[in-house]
Amino acid sequence: MKQIVILSGKGGTGKTTVSSAFAKLLQDKITIDCDVDAANLYLLLKPQSRNQFEYFGGKKASINPELCTQCGLCESVCRFDALHNYVIDPLSCEGCGFCYRVCPDDAIEFTETKSGNYFECNLIDDSKFYYAKLLPGEGNSGKLVSEIKKSALTNVGENIKWVIVDGPPGIGCPVNASLSGADFVVIVTEPTQSGIHDLKRLIELLKTFSIKCGIVINKYDLNEKQTLQITAYAGKENIPVLGYLPFDKDYIEAIKANKTIVEYSSKAAKDIENIWSKVEFFMDISKN
């Protein structure tokens, strides 16, 4: 079982487009959407939900008015401005627990709160699909990524060959959690200044974990000068460029039709198939 993580240094590069295409092309796989702050892979894959689980990712404070003597100490120590008139705003509360610790009357409770939900589903090919939704204002998304991956990879059948992980954008805690157990990372980037900047940040992160990767340049023909710049950088870093995807309105039309690109366009499907062939090739090289 090999775990392929699809990442991008920034949002909007086409990461989920590539992830959904891989999920449609491959057999004997599990698919996980680890972008728990803004999950959208399920919109294209149209899974049938089997089980829903609650996720408790942290604690929050609340005041018991029957015990509170309104001394004001809790409000004076709260750095997040979450306390007003001896009532705690749950959206502003960061769960640090400082007010709970300093309250002289034990009037503040500090309890675990629900932070979101995660879902176990079946796709049309009867393979497993997992995704999650973090509630508005909740943190600890990295922990939720770890939780959903743990759930997905527990009791995996012997017939599973691939784990496709649609990771979150950026280089923060959720990305670190999505990289756990990764065998290869597909980085989807674009030929823009911000795309190049965030690509380099992501590659530095992958160096820290010693994880092999390859680059897909999406909409490469919109700025061929910067595409050449990315290609040169990849060569300098000894990172393979897995493919160049052109700007094509079929990608837009596929999303409007609520389909993956491989379902909508045979030409784009061939491009994705070629990229996947290179993923397998470079994984074999890195293994040897």
Q: Strand order in 108-122's β-sheet? A: 48-63, 108-122, 128-134, 29-33, 162-169, 2-8, 184-189, 213-218, 241-245
Which one of 114, 134, 151 terminates a domain? 114
CB 135 within 8 A of CB 114: yes
Would you say the pTM of this structure is higher than 0.75?
A: yes
How far does the chain reach from its first CA to its final CA, in angstroms? 17
Are 28 and 61 contained in the same domain? Answer: no
**Domains held by the chain: number:** 2
- Which DSSP category does 12 fall into? T
Are 223 and 100 contained in the same domain? Answer: no
Q: Residue 76's domain is classified under what CATH number?
A: 3.30.70.20
Are 142 and 184 contained in the same domain? Answer: yes
Within a domain: 52 = no
Domain containing residue 62: 57-114
Tens place of pLDDT per residue across the chain (288 aa): 899 999 998 888 999 999 999 999 999 999 999 999 889 999 999 999 889 999 998 889 999 999 999 999 999 999 999 999 999 998 888 889 999 999 999 999 999 988 899 999 999 999 999 999 988 877 778 889 999 999 999 878 788 999 999 999 999 999 999 999 999 999 999 999 999 999 999 999 999 999 999 999 999 999 999 999 999 999 999 999 999 999 999 999 999 999 999 999 889 999 999 999 999 998 877 665
Please give the torsion angle defined by the CA atoms of residues 253, 254, 257 and 258, in that order, rounded to the nearest 10 degrees: -140
Are 170 and 259 contained in the same domain? Answer: yes
Which one of 94, 114, 134 terminates a domain? 114
Are 86 and 15 contained in the same domain? Answer: no
Are 77 and 219 contained in the same domain? Answer: no
Residues facing 83 on adjacent strands = 88
HSE (side-chain half, CA atoms, 13 Å) at 186: 34
